[in-house]
Structure formats: C-alpha cells, structure tokens
Amino acid sequence: MTSELVINVTREESRVALLEGGQVVEQYIERKRDTSLVGNIYKGKVLKILPGMQSSFIDLGLEKAAFLYVADIRRDTEDYYAAFLYGESEYHDLYAANEYKAEALSIEELIQEGQELLVQVSKDPLGTKGARVTSYVTLPGRYVVLMPNVEHVGISRRIENEQVRASLKDIAAEIKPKGFGLIMRTACEDATPDEIRRDLEFLILLWDSIQKKKEKVSAPSLLYSDLDLVFRSVRDFMSHNVERLVIDSAEEYERLKEFARTYFPRLMDKIELYEGREPMFDAFGLELDISRALGRRVWLKSGGYIVIDQAEAMTVIDVNTGKFVGKENLEDTILKTNLEAVKEISYQIRLRNLGGIIITDFIDMEKLENREKVSKAFLEAMKKDRAKNTIYNISELGIIQMTRKRVRESLGRVLCEQCPYCEGRGFVKSARTVTYEIFRKVRKMNLSRGTVAVIKGNPAVAEILSYEERQGIEEIENIYGIQLIIKEDLRFHQENYEITIL
C-alpha cells in the first residue's frame, strides 16, 4: 500500500501525519517548547544509586534527573569496573575461567556516585518520571544505525525477503568498522552499497565529533541533539512505499530540499510544497481523525464499538457489540464484531501511539477456533506497526495481552492534560453527595446557640441546599439553635465548599 507523509509547520509546533490509503495511521507532534529529548547524547553525572531498584539517578542538566537501569549500563563500563574491583590480572583470570559473570554484577559494582557517564536518552520524561537513559549509544542514519562499542550486525525485521537479507548481511560485514555494530534499516532494501557506505561514513564522523566534545566539557553537558521532527520524518519514514512528502512551510521546504540534496538525493523528487489556500490538514481531512483519536469510545461500521481507557501503567480496550445484532447465531455475531474490532484496535494503537501494557478484552467466544481466528487476525494487523511489540496468545476469556515500546508520550497525553475538575479520575462526587457531606460537617462542628454560619459552595450544591434539601437545613437550625446562610460561588469546584462563622 502506498503512503504519503504530510507535514504541517507553524511557529508553535510541527505535526507529521503518515497516511496509508489516504487515512492517517500515525501522527507525531513536536511543540517548540516541548521538543523531544529522545536520541540526545549527554555527558551526565551519577547523582544517586538506588540499590533496592538496581538503578540510579543521572544529572543531565535538565529539570528532572534521568533514570539509568542496571541493564542499560554498557558492557565496557562493566569490564572497567571489574578490573577496578579485582585487579587487572585477577580479572582476566576470572573471566577466562568463567567464574566472573558481568551480568551478575549489581549496580553498586558498576558505577559510583559522582562518576561521569556518556548516556543517550531512550525515553522522554513521561508524567512525573524523568527521562530514561542508556549507555548503549546508537546513531541512526537513513540506511544504517551505528552502535559504537558493540560487535553486532542486525537486519530490519521489516525486510522479509531472505535473499535481500543475506545480501545486506554481506554488505554490513564488508563495511562495518571494528569495534562498531550495525543495524541495516528498512530503507536499505532499495539502496545501493555506495549509498549505505556514505551513510555509515557520516555517522562515524559524527561519533568522532561527539567523542572529541566529550573530552572538552564537564558533566552535565549536551553533546549531541537529534534531528528535529521534520528532518527525522525524512530520515525514518521515507521508505520505498512512501509516494510523496507534502509540507506547507516554504522555509522548511527549502531546508528539506537542501537536506535531501546533501544526504538523500533520490528523495528530491518526492518532496512537494503545499500551496493551497485551505489549511493543509483540513484539505487532507486529518483534523477530524485527530479529534476522533481523543475520544474514549470508537464506533465500528457494524454498530459495535470499542472503549479505550488509558491509565498510568497500562491501556485497557473493551469490545462491545453495541447496536450490531447480526443475522445468524450469537457466536457468529460475536466473531464478526471481534474481527472488525481487530482492525480498528490496531489502527487506534498506532494513531494514538499507545505504549506500555495494552490489554484488549474481546467479547467472549465459546469456540476455540474462533478465538484463534481473532488472535491470528490481531497478529497480522499489528505487523504494520513500526514500534516494537510483543503479543501473547488469546486467553479463554477472550483477552489479548501485549506490550508496545513506549518512547514518547501518547497522542492523548501530548494534546490533553489531566482534568483539573476530576483530577484524572474521570468522575466527580455528585452535588447531592457533597450536600450530605456538608450536613455531617455542620453537625460535627458542635456550634453554640445563636451562631450564624455561611455555607459557600458550587451553584449545583447551593441549589440543592436551598430547595430540595431545605427541610434538612431547617432541621439542623432548629436542633442546634443556629442560622445557616447558603451562598453560591462559581469559583468553587463541585466537591469543595466553605463554612464560615460570622
């Protein structure tokens, strides 16, 4: 299926939409004030080690300290500290005898507080968490990913032709410098050996410049900043099946053409400037898709629907038959709804950029063969996903569990913020519940006779107190010999109120 890349650039933000068959399947937004840190390389300093979590806080010079897990500490760092701990000759003897296991070392043995480390951001700060970093640095190019200090050759899993994979493996073995690893990206499929080699040479020069800068600066310091969203889109998304790239900024269009002319001349003819009078995202019908991606409920064509609830640690997706009643038996209706939901769920996962743990609760199916059909359809639909994911077999209850690599915030988290009214719960106490809380509060205050108290609250609460529950107010006044004055205040949250003694 042919694809298009549509890029909208304004002073405030850049938006990139990947279209397949005219429908947006992936969208990325980068705001000038919230530029992504993923891919940036820093010289950081170890602030604190947390033995109980086998992790540490790293100072990158940012607002929040970054998080480094023991598994993300590069092996040569481990080797250095093993030599430091055991003495060089002892270390080599232990390693040769297989008595020393680098992977068994604890984080306290690998790094020390105050130590300076070269790290790369692997995940942006998410919610209250700081960025996640790794000391396994990677430099992505158009055709290859360079991995300094790692002896490894990999081929993109999206390249399925075994003959092409074998050919690329031979090219990688021929051009790979000693002490470096290479991953051959999907774009290699139509690249010449010379194009791949030039890409690699540029990345090696880039790594050399990072190393030189590292020696000159003290921690914490930024050593390398990854490309902005517009350039990353050309580097990462412009595969052979992307027919064209359309951008609506004349200035960015010229920058892109120059970038492509220098590094990817074969892409020059695919880059177009949008000159229509209507806003580009409206012209392509994308604004509606974005709004749809923020809704909790998504309707299916049959009349069924899915509900998407995103929590802190996981996303739960529920499938319902809704208005769809089917034409045959119940099992057939359920199967058709589940299969239709599979396509929509895989689409929504990509569009919303959902990550972490994702649980999908399909409608219960009695027949094992039907559960297997749904499971296979789900696996097939998720093959189009560029993000790394792991999908587990469907359970007897019709539940599919999966994990999807989360590098950046989901679309909903980028475009929305926690509701200040419900504080992220999705619901608030009813006005009547708050009214009865006020009654209990007044009774507990044990006011002396003759006291005049003013109750201020949200208009909805004040209305119930003044009319529907007026009898309750009068009863309290008579029992305690006090006077209660009700006042509404638009500034009050529905759950908040104030009782003042005059």
- CATH number at 460 reads 3.40.1260.20
**Is residue 425 included in any domain, yes or no?**
no
Residue numbers of the domain that contains 13: 3-33+232-287
Amino acid present at 16: V
Q: Read off the pLDDT band of 362 (50, 70, 90).
A: very high
Residue 492 lies in a domain: yes
- The rounded distance, in Å, linking the Cα atoms of 227 and 260 is 13
Q: What is the CATH number of the domain that holds 22?
A: 3.30.420.60
Residue 388 maps to a domain: yes
Question: Residue 114 CB: number of other CB atoms within 10 A?
Answer: 9
415, 439, 470 - which closes a domain = 415
Work out the burial of residue 54: count CB atoms within 10 Å of its CB; fewer than 13 is exposed, 13-18 middle, 19 or more buried: middle
On whether residue 422 sits in a domain, the answer given is: no
Picking from 233-237, 364-368, 419-423, which range would have the lowest pLDDT averaged per residue?
419-423
- The 10s digit of each residue's pLDDT in 323-333 is 766 666 788 88
- The yes-or-no verdict on residue 295 having pLDDT over 70 is yes
Q: Is residue 214 part of a domain?
A: yes
pLDDT at 398 > cutoff 50: yes
- Per-residue pLDDT tens digits for 116-133: 999 999 988 876 788 999
* pLDDT tier at 411, thresholds 50, 70, 90: confident
Residue 409 in this model has a pLDDT that exceeds 70:
yes
- Report how many domains make up the chain: 4
Cα-Cα end-to-end distance for the chain: 73
303 and 411 both lie in a single domain: yes
> Any idea what the CATH number is for the domain that residue 176 is in?
2.40.50.140
User: Does the residue 426 lie in any domain?
Assistant: no
Q: Which of 361, 390, 415 lies at the terminal end of a domain, its last residue?
A: 415
- pLDDT tens by residue, 21-52: 888 888 888 887 777 888 999 999 999 999 98
Of 201, 224, 247, the last residue of a domain is 224
**Residues 334 and 318 sit within 8 Å (Cβ to Cβ):** no
- Banded pLDDT at 77 (limits 50, 70, 90): very low
More confident residue, 227 or 326: 227
Do the domain assignments include residue 348?
Answer: yes
The answer to whether residues 172 and 273 belong to one domain is: no
Q: Is the pLDDT of residue 103 over 70?
A: no
pLDDT at position 91 over 50: no
Q: What is the pTM of this model?
A: 0.70
The verdict on 306 and 440 lying in the same domain is no
Structure tokens at 14: 């850049």
**Do residues 100 and 237 share a domain?**
no
pLDDT band at 104 (very low <50, low <70, confident <90, very high): low
Same domain assignment for residues 55 and 181: yes
